[in-house]
Structure 1
Amino acid sequence: MTCRTEVVERPSTEVLSVCTVVRVSTSPPGRENSSDWPWFADMVRYKQKAELPSKKEGADRIRSMAPSYELVDGLLYKRSYGGPLLLCLPSEEAKTVMTAAHQGICEAHQGAKTLAKKLIIQGYYWPTMVKDCVEEVLRCSVCQMFARKGT
């Protein structure tokens, strides 16, 4: 068995793209403007100030889910089983991250379950992740062009 060595004369990529992501942490909203805040605002409020929602159902839900979440440097993370802490994303940011993973620089165009699992491995979480990934794949013209019809 022989070993071959290949010398690459020029780079395999034409342009090097370097992006910097800056995350700004915010304090939890007050009760008066909570509709403008993301889905995890009540959990952040509970973790920072030990305040529960006024409705009993909401308070019970937050109290039961609290052990699964952790606040680190003002950012909320969800604990994953045997994996990294998952950064909780608001819906607008989640859509941007999902689109970038599906159609962005890598253009992987994977299926919905694979896309969701890929986002979890990369350390992101939001509650409607799988549903949003299914909708993203169904909207993607490239995926639909190569989808097997009738299966």
Structure 2
Amino acid sequence: MVSEEDWRLPLINYLQYPALPSEKRIRIMALNFVMWNEELVRKTKDELLLRCLGKEEYVKVMGEVHEGICGAHQGGRKMCWLIRRYGYFWPTMMKDCIEYSKGCEACQRHGPIQQASSVPMNPVIKPWPFRGRAMDLIGKIYPASSKQHCFIIVATNYFTKWVEAKPVKSTTS
């Protein structure tokens, strides 16, 4: 079942009807693919055949590998390696797996905390209010909040140590 915007469609059309005109890029790419039992499969360097998946299928596969019954909440690179080992392929596998693992809420909650290097902190001392201020933008936070806020703007007064933080939807907000 191949939809109109599926990445596999030009390759399937070329492999089924090679006499029809097609782009050079598709003809070169098709050297690594073959039609087998009415499905597109990719040939690897070591002659393994990987089943090519469309978007709906690969989202399900990523979910099952990452958080399914045997999923161990692996990072993106390991997840990509596992999916290839299970015999699946799509062109943006690595990028999609990394994004999926970064967006996993359970991984963010229970994953290792990033540690800052142990450098002594130096206090910032100012003689009166509003003598020193700082602003910073935190983000992009993934996944975004329920109101689609994915950045936080933070302002600090160095004298009073007062901090204000506001969520924003974009950096131009």
- Secondary structure of the 1:36 match is coil
Which structure ranks higher in relative contact order (CA pairs < 8 Å, sequence separation ≥ 6)? 1
Structure 1 pair 83–100 and aligned structure 2 pair: CA distance change class (3 A): farther
Give the Cα separation in 2 of the matches to 1:116 and 1:148.
23
2-structure distance, mates of 1:84, 1:121: 10
1:45–1:52 contact (8 Å) kept in structure 2: no
1:135 is aligned to 2:105: no
Name the structure where strand makes up a greater proportion of residues.
2
Give the aligned partner of residue 82 of structure 1: 46
CA distance in 2, matches of 1:119, 1:81: 17
2:109 is the counterpart of 1:149: no
Q: Aligned partners of 1:48, 1:142: CA distance in 2, in Å?
A: 44
Match of 1:69 in 2: 33
1:92 Cα deviation after fit? 1.0
Residue 141 of structure 1 deviates from its aligned partner by 1.6
| Equivalences for residues 24-39 of structure 1 within 5 A | 26=1, 36-39=4-7
Output the CA distance in 1 between the equivalents of 2:94 and 2:85: 14
Kindly provide the CA deviation profile for residues 17-46 of structure 1, in whole angstroms up to 9, marking residues without a partner as x: xxxxxxxxx5x7xxxxxx724111010000
Count of equivalent residues: 114
C-alpha RMSD over aligned residues: 1.9
Q: Aligned equivalents of 1:103 and 1:84: distance in 2?
A: 26
Q: Deviations over 1:1-27 (max 9, x none)?
A: xxxxxxxxxxxxxxxxxxxxxxxxx5x
In the TM superposition, structure 1's runs of 4+ consecutive aligned residues that sit over 3 Å from their partners are: none
In structure 1, the residue corresponding to 2:14 is in which secondary structure? helix
User: Runs of 5+ in structure 1 lacking a partner?
Assistant: 1-25, 29-34, 54-58
| Structure 1 equivalent of residue 65 of structure 2 | 101
Q: What TM-score do you get using the length of structure 2 for normalisation? A: 0.61
Judge conservation of contact 1:52–1:62 (CA < 8 Å) in 2. no
1:49 aligns with 2:14: no
Equivalent residue number for residue 120 of structure 1: 84
Write the letter of the residue equivalent to 1:79.
K
Unaligned stretches of 5+ residues in structure 2: 117-173
Deviates more, 1:139-148 or 1:41-50: 139-148
Q: Percent identity?
A: 34
Match of 2:81, as an amino acid?
K
Structure with more of its chain in helix, by fraction: 1
1:81 offset after TM fit, Å?
1.9
Query: Match of 2:53, as an amino acid?
Result: L
Q: Given the superposition, is the C-alpha separation of residues 81 and 36 from structure 1 closer, same or farther in structure 2, using an over 3 Å criterion?
A: same
